[in-house]
Copies of this chain bind each other. A is one copy, B any other.
Amino acid sequence: MSKEQGSNIREVAALAGVSIATVSRALQQPDKVRPETRKKVFDAVRQANFVPNAQAASFRRQSNNTVILLVRDIGNPFYLEIYKGVEEAAGEAGFKVLMGDARNDENRVATHIDMVRQKHADGLILMTGQFPSELLDQADTLPPIVIASETVPGLALPTVKIDNRAASKNAVRHLIEAGHTKIAHLAGPFPESLAKERFEGYRDALSEAGIGYSDELVVTGDYSIEAGRRAIAGLLESGISFTAIFASSDQMAIGAISELRGRGISVPADVSVIGFDDIIFANAFEPPLTTVRQPRQEMGRKAMALMVDRLNGKRTAETIVLDTELVVRGSVAPCRSPHR
């Protein structure tokens, strides 16, 4: 029933009574081959149970139409929507997408850059805050890289991002308008740009409202649920008082709320919370999370578009800035003891 497995283009050519070039053409550009010839080839392909060896083709072409999407932490649902956008745009452009997990580890970023150098893939879409410092001054020898969501200071690469500072400022302003003045900030890991930009937005809103800034209200974490829990535990145990939280990720917001609740503090009655990202769980959560929505799908699409440009030889370092939106749901309430 099943024919020989490892048949190659030569066997097919022999079977069809044509040259291997014709087989290749019939398969790659059918309209360049006369219909009768095409039919002979297709029949032979079927008869030989032939599956072209994509590896050989990629090798010959010196490209394999594949890009790697490397994310900070594959456990964060935020990246999955991005992936979908990337994959959609990639499919349209004839590319495949593989997803890699950097696990917040700079070395793993370096490993994946090497994979591109070694032609495992044609390009790398980076969604990690980390970048191997030893590569920073080798910008001209880097393989095709596009940055999404994050930025790497001192590296002029095509980038798609949001205005983190403005989005944060807007979110914190929302808290201030509800009467909050003691606002904690669950930041990302410094000194990454993303963390710093959101932190600056937080400070902007504070100073705009004439509210004093306090170091003690800022805690950093790696955007995970666990980090959110830990941050709140630390804050509470150190006795700092606060009535609102602005978290740099929905996961941290969710961890924070869970921790708060575990200690008998209710959200939003006692403490208001705003997250960041609008992951799919934000809306199903109790209370439904007020958060900053990022246009994830579009971010993915744009990043892939930038990659296609780059792969086609465009050497600019364009930066695309996408809009965000504050999605007001149920995790913010008026401050009960304003100006306490």
- Chain A positions within 8 Å of B, measured between CB atoms, are 1-2, 5, 49, 51-56, 58-59, 62, 64, 74-75, 77, 80-81, 83-84, 87, 96, 98-101, 114-115, 117-120, 138, 140-141, 225, 254-255, 257-258, 261, 280-281, 283-286, 288
Contact = CB atoms under 8 A, between A and B. Distances in A.
B118 A225 contact: no
Nearest 3 Cβ contacts at the A-B interface:
A54-B118, A98-B98, A258-B284
B280 A258 contact: no
Chain B CB within 10 Å — which of A52, A53, A140 has the most? Answer: A53
A114 B49 CA distance: 13
Please give the count of copies of this chain that the complex contains: 2
Nearest to A258: B284
B55 A64 contact: yes
A59 B55 contact: yes
A225 B281 contact: yes
Given A74-B80, A284-B255, A56 B59 contact: yes
Chain B CB within 10 Å — which of A52, A101, A261, A280 has the most? Answer: A280
Contacts of A281: 225, 254, 281
Nearest to A75: B80
Contacts of A284: 225, 254-255, 257-258
Contact of A280 (B2, B75, B117, B119): B75
Contacts of A80: 74-75
Contacts of A59: 55-56, 58-59
Contact of A101 (B49, B87, B114): B87
A159 to B, nearest CB: 22
A303 to B, nearest CB: 17
A2 B286 contact: no
A96 B114 CA distance: 13
A125 to B, nearest CB: 14
Contacts of A261: 286
Nearest to A262: B288
A299 to B, nearest CB: 16
A188 B290 CA distance: 31
A241 to B, nearest CB: 24
Contacts of A83: 74, 101
26 contacts: A2-B141, A5-B141, A52-B118, A53-B119, A55-B118, A55-B119, A55-B120, A56-B59, A59-B59, A74-B80, A74-B83, A75-B81, A83-B101, A87-B101, A96-B115, A98-B98, A98-B99, A98-B100, A99-B99, A255-B284, A257-B284, A258-B283, A258-B284, A258-B285, A281-B281, A285-B286
